[in-house]
């Protein structure tokens, strides 16, 4: 494990925060998973959403690796491993990306993730 500062970890988590906010904002008008599939702009939005979920998962994986799992272990209510797992599916199992699951993530999982990220960031800021 390489040495990394709390500031660098916080920067990485702020990137995740920005990506999460972006997905929440850009998918706010998506009412069903079919909205991702019915026209070209929906498909572009779906691809954008998948890319953001991929970068969120990859950055979470990097933070977890850099902190030897110790940081996220303090926040067990967040499904960190599932976030990383979704990244793996998007990155490597292209035909297994489920549009309905991506929609459900945007509706049910990202707002709690954003809340938890902000709690982690506040704890990091208070520790420095």
Using a pLDDT cut of 90, give the percent of the chain over it: 92
For residue 103, give both structure tokens: 């929609």
CB contact at 8 A, 44 and 51 = no
Q: How many CB atoms lie within 10 A of CB 103?
A: 20
Query: 6-121 — its CATH code?
Result: 1.20.120
Q: What is the pLDDT of residue 94?
A: 79
Q: What is the pLDDT of residue 1?
A: 46
Give the pLDDT confidence of 26-59 residue by residue, as tens digits. 999 999 999 999 999 999 999 999 999 999 999 9
Average pLDDT over residues 17-32: 98
Average pLDDT over residues 51-70: 96
Q: What is the pLDDT of residue 93?
A: 87
Nearest to 23 by CA among 114, 100, 98: 114
Q: What is the pLDDT of residue 128?
A: 63
| The model's pTM | 0.93
Neighbouring residues of 122: CB distance < 8 A, sequence distance ≥ 6: none
CB contact at 8 A, 81 and 116 = no
Q: What is the pLDDT of residue 95?
A: 83
For residue 80, give both structure tokens: 């960190």
CB contact at 8 A, 97 and 89 = yes
């Amino acid at each position: 494990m390489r040495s990394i500062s709390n500031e660098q970890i916080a920067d990485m988590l702020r990137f995740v925060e920005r990506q999460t906010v972006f997905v929440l904002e850009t998918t706010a008008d998506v009412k069903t998973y079919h909205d991702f599939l019915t026209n070209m702009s929906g498909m572009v939005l779906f691809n954008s959403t998948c890319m953001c979920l991929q970068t969120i998962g990859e950055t979470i994986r990097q933070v977890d690796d850099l902190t030897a799992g110790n940081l996220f272990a303090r926040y067990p209510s967040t499904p960190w491993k599932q976030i990383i797992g979704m990244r793996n599916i998007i990155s490597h199992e292209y035909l297994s990306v489920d549009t309905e699951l991506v929609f459900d993530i945007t509706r049910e999982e990202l707002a709690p993730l954003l809340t938890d990220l902000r709690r982690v960031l506040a704890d990091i800021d208070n520790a420095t």
